């Protein structure tokens, strides 16, 4: 299971192998996550900056992946080693935490969970919070062994070549998918053939993930494209969003649903539009013009 409940986290809060990584972040206010962390966080939680730790200075799209080596060094600096149990959290239903979950999993680190419902669910369950920053030591060099390359990632050229032959999934809000608004990227709309699965649909009213059966109903029909089935079905599904962050929420939801691991378009819509690729607007996926 890739989620952990507030109650289960509370039960192991004093486990010396536990590492809680707080990755609260807001696109519209880049300092808000840090301010909220400083005001109140789970005891022992360590702050992780999306813009410097989980994003490279340059690359495809607005939030390119850092090199695995740089990411490994950052995790070591946060005290993460091979024998740790990592819990990642945010305050927005896992929409940001899922990025860190996916990055660790992509490099072969599987002892990682997303706190279901994040900090709000933790507080609602009676979990303690503190404004004191936890003093910790970095993990020893060489004590964390992650992969040398990101797995299950595709780029713009791959997506363009396979457009219309894979299920391309867009995690953005419906109004951005349709092209009604576009607050960040240069052109409104969506990549032709992409189907809309807004990440908000993965969550219930409490901000926690829906049951696996309901999540499976959201995504299962996508995993038969091109005749794929079983363990290979994920190869026919590519998740995208604006810049490769929120797409990880749909990847996490599919994992909770028991579906095969799919692919991530790293640069997503921001990378696609920066290269003047064709776009579609409206409710329908559209057809491939390539």
| Assigned token pair, 79 | 């005290």
Question: Is residue 241 among the annotated active site residues?
Answer: yes
CB burial of 5-42 (b: ≥16 within 10 Å; e: otherwise) equals bbeebeeeeeeeeebbbbbbbbbeeeeebeebbeeebb
With helix as H, strand as E and coil as C, how does 132-175 read? CCCCCCCCCCCCCCCCCCCCCEECHHHHHHHCCCCEEEECCCHH
Which of helix, strand or coil describes residue 275?
coil
**Side-chain-side CA neighbours of residue 271 (13 Å):** 24
Question: Do the beta carbons of residue 179 and residue 283 sit within 8 Å?
Answer: no
- Catalytic residue, candidates 84, 89, 241, 248: 241
User: What H or E segment, with its residue span, contains residue 153?
Assistant: strand 153-154
**Residue positions annotated with a catalytic role:** 241
């Amino acid at each position: 299971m890739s989620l952990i409940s507030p109650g289960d986290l509370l039960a192991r809060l004093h486990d010396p192998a536990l590492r809680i990584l707080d990755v609260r972040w807001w696109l519209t206010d880049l300092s808000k996550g840090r301010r909220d962390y400083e005001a109140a966080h789970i005891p022992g939680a360590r702050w992780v900056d999306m813009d410097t730790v989980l994003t490279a200075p340059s690359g495809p799209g607005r939030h390119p992946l850092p090199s695995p080596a740089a990411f490994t060094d950052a995790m070591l600096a946060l005290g993460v080693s091979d024998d740790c149990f990592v819990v990642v959290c945010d305050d927005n239903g896992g929409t940001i935490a899922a990025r860190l979950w996916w990055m660790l999993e992509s490099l072969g680190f599987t002892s990682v969970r997303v706190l279901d419902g994040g900090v709000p669910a933790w507080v609602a369950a009676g979990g303690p919070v503190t404004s004191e920053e936890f003093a910790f030591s970095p993990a020893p060099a060489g004590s964390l062994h992650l992969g040398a390359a990101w797995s299950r990632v595709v780029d713009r050229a791959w997506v363009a070549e396979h457009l219309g032959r894979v299920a391309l999934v867009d995690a953005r809000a419906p109004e951005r998918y349709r092209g009604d608004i576009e607050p960040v990227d240069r052109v409104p709309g969506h990549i032709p053939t992409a189907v809309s699965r807004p990440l908000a649909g993965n969550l219930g009213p409490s901000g926690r993930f829906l049951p696996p059966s309901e999540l499976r109903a959201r995504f299962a029909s996508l995993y038969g494209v091109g005749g794929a089935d079983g363990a290979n079905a994920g190869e026919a599904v590519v998740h995208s969003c604006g810049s490769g962050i929120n797409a990880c929420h749909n990847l996490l939801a599919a994992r909770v649903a028991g579906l095969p691991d799919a692919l991530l378009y790293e640069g997503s819509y921001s990378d696609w539009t920066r290269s003047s690729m064709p776009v579609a607007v409206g409710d329908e996926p559209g057809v491939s013009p390539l």
